[in-house]
Amino acid sequence: LDQIAIQDGPKAAFQCLKAWIGTNGVTLLRERRRTCVQALPANEWMLVVDLQFEAAGEDVTFGQTPFGLFAVRMAKSIGVRDGGGTIRNSEGGVNEAGVFRKPARWMDYSGPVAPGVTNGITLLDHPANPNHPTVFHVRDDGWMGSCLTYDAPRTVAKGTPLRLRYALYVHDGAPAADALERCWQNFSRTTLIDFAENAKKR
């Protein structure tokens, strides 16, 4: 199972249909994924990922775990432990001690990428996600991810897809918290992709 569609223009998008297959060769889940990249001023950019999981037969359960379905590994120089980076979240937490496995609307990881040059990534959690504001699994070693099933397992029932939307804001410098909050507010007003409607258009 492998269907791919590519869209070019002001926003470049890549959409695919994949299958999660069990050890017995039976398809358990169908995953629809759309990745959209938009260039922003000042050489910054936004990457938005829409995910839809559909049970192929019986209900499927994602087990309880502090790890999730969307994460990013920062460059070593950006890490708090190995570089000169800083972690911040929407609730005012700083670095692993202040943000680890705590709920937030967004999480930012910024630090040096070259002498005198600071860049970073903000991971944005959409309010339509079922566990918003998500718990983040973030470490001083550069790991940053959202935790979909931190507090409990999550079941994808037959006929009821699980829909998720996340974004990565790749930015210059280390923006102030109020600027990152405005970025999240803009993202929060976006709507989840209707994969069925997209299929009709193709």
Model confidence at 2: pLDDT above 60: no
Judge contact between 7 and 34, C-beta under 8 A. Answer: no
pLDDT digits (tens, 9 = 90+) for 123-159: 999 999 999 999 999 999 999 999 999 999 999 999 9
**Cα 111 from Cα 15, distance rounded (Å):** 31
Model confidence at 184: pLDDT above 70: yes
Residue bearing the bigger pLDDT, 197 or 84: 84
Judge contact between 147 and 68, C-beta under 8 A. Answer: yes
Number of H helices, E strands in the chain: 3, 14
**Cα 53 from Cα 62, distance rounded (Å):** 11
pLDDT band at 11 (very low <50, low <70, confident <90, very high): confident
pLDDT of residue 196: 76
Model confidence at 197: pLDDT above 90: no
The Cα-based distances of 55 to 17, 26, 34, 157, 162 in angstroms read 13, 12, 18, 6, 9
Cβ atoms within 10 Å, residue 81? 12
Query: pTM for this one?
Result: 0.92
CA-based nearest residue to 172, from 113, 97, 104, 118? 118
The Cα-based distances of 150 to 1, 71, 131 in angstroms read 30, 14, 9
pLDDT digits (tens, 9 = 90+) for 51-108: 999 999 999 999 999 999 999 999 999 999 999 999 999 999 999 999 999 999 999 9
What SS3 state is found at 166?
A: strand
pLDDT of residue 159: 94
pLDDT of residue 195: 85
